[in-house]
Amino acid sequence: MAVPRGALAVIPARGGSKGIPGKNLQTVGDIPLVCRSIRAAQASNGVGRVVVSTDDDAIAAA
């Protein structure tokens, strides 16, 4: 098995936002905000792996 190269990007995505409820699943241009963060991390030079840490089933499924 190949070992991934580069940094590990950890994206914290809480389900219980106090300021804007459900903000990680709000869409901008039909793409949930958490997915935009994932895509940006994946496209970054030097990032070998992306992990999302969440306590919310809907965010995990996005």
In the numeric block, the tokens 């901008």 are attached to 28
Contact between residue 20 and residue 50 where contact means Cβ atoms under 8 Å apart? no
Within the chain, which residues score under 50 in pLDDT? none
Q: How much is the pTM?
A: 0.81
3-state helix, strand, coil in the chain (%, to 5): 30, 30, 40
In the numeric block, the tokens 């958490």 are attached to 34
pLDDT at residue number 3: 57
**CA distance linking residue 30 with residue 17, whole number of Å:** 20
H or E segment at 51? Answer: strand 47-54
Q: What is the pLDDT of residues 6-20, one digit of tens each?
A: 899 999 999 887 888
